[in-house]
Chain A
Amino acid sequence: MSLDPSYLEYPHRKRGYDHDLYPWSNLHERPPVTWPGGKSVAVWVCIDLEWFPITPEDKPFRAPGHMQTPYPDYRHYTSREYGTRVGFYRLLDALAKAGVKASVAANSAIAERYPEVIADIMAAGHEIIAHSTDMNGTIATGLDEADERALIQSSLDALERASGTRPRGWLSIARSQSWNTPRLLKEAGLDYCCDWVNDELPWRFNNGLINLPLNHELSDRQIITVQQHSAESYAQQMTDAFDWLEREAKESGSGRMLPLNVTPYILGLPYRIDAFDRLIADLAARQESWFATGSQIVDAWQEAPASSG
């Protein structure tokens, strides 16, 4: 038994990455980033607002949170709808009470089906990030390039029609991209995507597109749904993260960012929402927090010398 000789050949074994999507850089050695008002930690709330067709297509894969039982899966279809009808409004109320702005990563199906939700988001002053078409709109290598381009266009167009503003940011379903995605997003005129979780501050692809990292490890999906922790534990973990980042910002003299990626049908349940309410109120009251939308963070970062690297 032996392996094909090519298995012991390493054509990309060289300085830097084994791809040319973006350059390597050490967060701790970059020029400092400054947030408005000299705050230490940008807190970015990003709510995933999703519509799951009851007919999953699995092309190219089934999204997390999608249907699980044989057709018709009323259980999961309606539980996800609960998030949009009820849970999302609890999240909006928590943000309003604390007086903070957030990003909403919305499927364009939300805009087409429930334009009143989009109107409520815009009226509250939040930002809309494009989050594909609906939860069948998954992307991975193998998806035809023309289909992927059309999916991106149709998402942006529908969200712009409903909101009056063309989204500047993009979040793929499950953060899953194909080899073509960074190029297609740039071609579509987007400023930034949120899919790459390799950093804690924005960075730039070689093609000029910006990545604003939406850390999946800090998401309610990862902590509550995957790791099965309580909402109270989730809130404590976010507070611990904020405290650490605040300390690191002070010691390094450079701003840090805490992304809170939350899901209406996860944190928006009656027995969990109080923990989120308290977390947002607590963080908003901190001297060193700057609550901001994705675009505001990207814009502030672009002002800093670090953004050229």
Chain B
Amino acid sequence: MLQTAPEGDPGLYDFSPYRDRPRVVWPDGKTVAVWVAPNLEYYEIDPPANPHRKSWTKPHPDVVGYGHRDHSNRVSHWRMAEAMSRHGFPGSVSLSIALCQHHPEVVADANERGWEFFSHGIYNTRYSYGMDEAQERRIIEDSIRTVRDATGQTIRGWLAPALTHTPRTLDLIAEYGLDYTCDLYHDDQVQPVKTRTGRLASIPYSLEVNDHYGFFVYNMSPREYADALIRQYERLAVEGEKSGTVMCIPLHAYLIGQPHRIAAFEGVLEHIAADGRAWISRAGDIVDAWRAQQTGDAA
């Protein structure tokens, strides 16, 4: 049964202003947990239509749209991943699950680097809108099984495919034992999420500094985007002295891994790695460290 949203509130969490919160402390006294979330995606060239959202704006094949995404899996994934590895940043991968079948080389590379995987749906061209509960369970079960087979890892998190949700998604992933969601953008700290069963945390995914937002919503140049990331980092590192903050850098290799952007971005990684206040980590480790400090219902 679908949840309802009485008076327009989807009932995801209790309101909690950014004042006098219990102190969260990150390992070694670091003030800001920094995680990098590469979206390793597969977009289908000729996907079936979802009645609630179009995949491509043009008749298939959308050569530029498809080719742009394909750049990740031929060229820019390795460029981005090498830059991350050079400065000690693991990835927490938002994975189009079918990439395990299409280009296992990309998934294996991420796994060998010690990156964590969470589900971003089967394809970024198959949306959750309109699914019934059984259909939604199938994509969750498919995600768990496929990533386990491909990498040996058990996924712990979810970022809805192309950010398409249903009102039951969070309850269902919690029921299957997943313990974090990247779909809620209400805070700069890890927060508990209300679900029917299980224990779900919202980890900040920092959508506003997503490379897609930087380049195509705010039209930043590569150097302006790098400056924005450094300012985001500097502020959260200071505020984290009171209680640990989280900064995510959500990426798409076909954007950040372009030759005119990657050097400026590598400068950001260098800056954060050298600063000393960052706990450079993975999503699951951040949720674990937060969970261990919770008392009461959230513990």
Physical interaction between A and B: yes
Q: In the assembled complex, which residues on chain B have CB atoms less than 8 Å from the CB atom of A25?
A: 74
Assess whether B70 is interfacial by the CB under 8 Å rule: yes
Assess whether B64 is interfacial by the CB under 8 Å rule: yes
Q: Say whether A229 contacts B263, CB under 8 Å.
A: no
Give complex CA distance A226, B71 in Å: 20
Give complex CA distance A15, B261 in Å: 30
Per-residue CB contact flags for chain B residues 189-206 toward chain A (1 = under 8 Å, else 0) read 000000000000000000
| Interface residue from B44, B61, B130, B223 paired with A3 (Cβ < 8 Å) | B130
| Interface residue from A2, A179, A199, A245 paired with B61 (Cβ < 8 Å) | A179
Q: Say whether B258 contacts A27, CB under 8 Å.
A: no
Assess whether B45 is interfacial by the CB under 8 Å rule: yes
| Interface residue from B71, B130, B216, B263 paired with A2 (Cβ < 8 Å) | B130
Assess whether A174 is interfacial by the CB under 8 Å rule: yes
In A200-240, which residues have CB < 8 Å from any B CB? 200, 213, 215-218, 226-229, 233, 236-238, 240
In A61-80, which residues have CB < 8 Å from any B CB? 61
In A158-212, which residues have CB < 8 Å from any B CB? 172, 174-179, 195-200
Q: Say whether B45 contacts A18, CB under 8 Å.
A: yes
Assess whether B277 is interfacial by the CB under 8 Å rule: no
CB A46 to nearest CB in B, in angstroms, measures: 15
Q: Say whether A197 contacts B48, CB under 8 Å.
A: no
Q: Say whether B263 contacts A244, CB under 8 Å.
A: yes
| Known pairs A175-B63, A233-B221; A13 contacts B74 (CB<8 A) | no
Per-residue CB contact flags for chain A residues 1-31 toward chain B (1 = under 8 Å, else 0) read 1111011101011111111000011111000
Q: Say whether B50 contacts A199, CB under 8 Å.
A: no
CB B143 to nearest CB in A, in angstroms, measures: 13
Assess whether A142 is interfacial by the CB under 8 Å rule: yes
Assess whether A141 is interfacial by the CB under 8 Å rule: yes
| Known pairs A198-B70, A198-B71; A12 contacts B44 (CB<8 A) | yes
Q: Say whether B64 contacts A2, CB under 8 Å.
A: no
CB A300 to nearest CB in B, in angstroms, measures: 19
Q: Say whether B222 contacts A197, CB under 8 Å.
A: no
Q: Say whether B132 contacts A217, CB under 8 Å.
A: no
Q: In the assembled complex, which residues on chain B have CB atoms less than 8 Å from the CB atom of A174?
A: 64
Using CB atoms, name the residue of chain A closest to B106: A26
Q: Say whether A28 contacts B78, CB under 8 Å.
A: yes
Q: Say whether A8 contacts B130, CB under 8 Å.
A: no
Q: Say whether B68 contacts A197, CB under 8 Å.
A: yes
Q: Say whether B222 contacts A237, CB under 8 Å.
A: yes
Q: Say whether B46 contacts A19, CB under 8 Å.
A: yes
Assess whether A144 is interfacial by the CB under 8 Å rule: no
| Interface residue from A1, A13, A27, A218 paired with B130 (Cβ < 8 Å) | A1
In B61-85, which residues have CB < 8 Å from any A CB? 61, 63-64, 66-68, 70-71, 73-75, 78-79
Q: Say whether B258 contacts A8, CB under 8 Å.
A: no
Q: Say whether A3 contacts B50, CB under 8 Å.
A: yes
Give complex CA distance A4, B126 in Å: 12
Assess whether A60 is interfacial by the CB under 8 Å rule: yes
Give complex CA distance A99, B70 in Å: 35
Assess whether B16 is interfacial by the CB under 8 Å rule: no
Q: Say whether B132 contacts A2, CB under 8 Å.
A: yes
In A52-109, which residues have CB < 8 Å from any B CB? 60-61
Q: Say whether A2 contacts B102, CB under 8 Å.
A: no
CB B100 to nearest CB in A, in angstroms, measures: 9
Give complex CA distance A233, B126 in Å: 37
CB B108 to nearest CB in A, in angstroms, measures: 11
Assess whether A140 is interfacial by the CB under 8 Å rule: yes
Give complex CA distance A240, B216 in Å: 19
| Interface residue from A6, A15, A217 paired with B48 (Cβ < 8 Å) | A6
Using CB atoms, name the residue of chain B closest to A227: B219
Q: In the assembled complex, which residues on chain B have CB atoms less than 8 Å from the CB atom of A216?
A: 64, 68
Q: In the assembled complex, which residues on chain A have CB atoms less than 8 Å from the CB atom of B216?
A: 227
Give complex CA distance A3, B49 in Å: 10
Per-residue CB contact flags for chain B residues 39-51 toward chain A (1 = under 8 Å, else 0) read 0001011101011
Assess whether A241 is interfacial by the CB under 8 Å rule: yes
| Interface residue from A196, A200, A236 paired with B223 (Cβ < 8 Å) | A236
Per-residue CB contact flags for chain B residues 257-282 toward chain A (1 = under 8 Å, else 0) read 01111111000000000000000000
Assess whether A145 is interfacial by the CB under 8 Å rule: no
Q: In the assembled complex, which residues on chain A have CB atoms less than 8 Å from the CB atom of B98?
A: 10, 13
| Interface residue from B74, B104, B222, B264 paired with A199 (Cβ < 8 Å) | B74
Assess whether A262 is interfacial by the CB under 8 Å rule: no
Assess whether A258 is interfacial by the CB under 8 Å rule: yes
Q: In the assembled complex, which residues on chain A have CB atoms less than 8 Å from the CB atom of B21?
A: none
Assess whether B295 is interfacial by the CB under 8 Å rule: no
| Known pairs A6-B48, A7-B126, A60-B59; A26 contacts B135 (CB<8 A) | no
Return the 4 tightest CB-CB contacts between A and B, nearest first. A2-B132, A198-B70, A241-B260, A241-B259
Enumerate chain B interface residues (CB-CB to A < 8 A): 42, 44-46, 48, 50-51, 58-61, 63-64, 66-68, 70-71, 73-75, 78-79, 98, 101-105, 122-123, 126, 130-132, 134-135, 138-139, 215-216, 219, 221-223, 258-264
- Can you report 8 A-B residue pairs in the complex whose CB atoms are below 8 A from each other? A2-B131, A3-B132, A8-B135, A16-B103, A141-B59, A177-B61, A199-B75, A228-B219
Q: A178-B59, A197-B68 are in contact. List 13 more A-B contacts (CB 8 A).
A: A2-B131, A15-B104, A17-B45, A18-B42, A195-B67, A198-B66, A198-B74, A198-B75, A199-B74, A216-B64, A238-B260, A240-B263, A240-B264
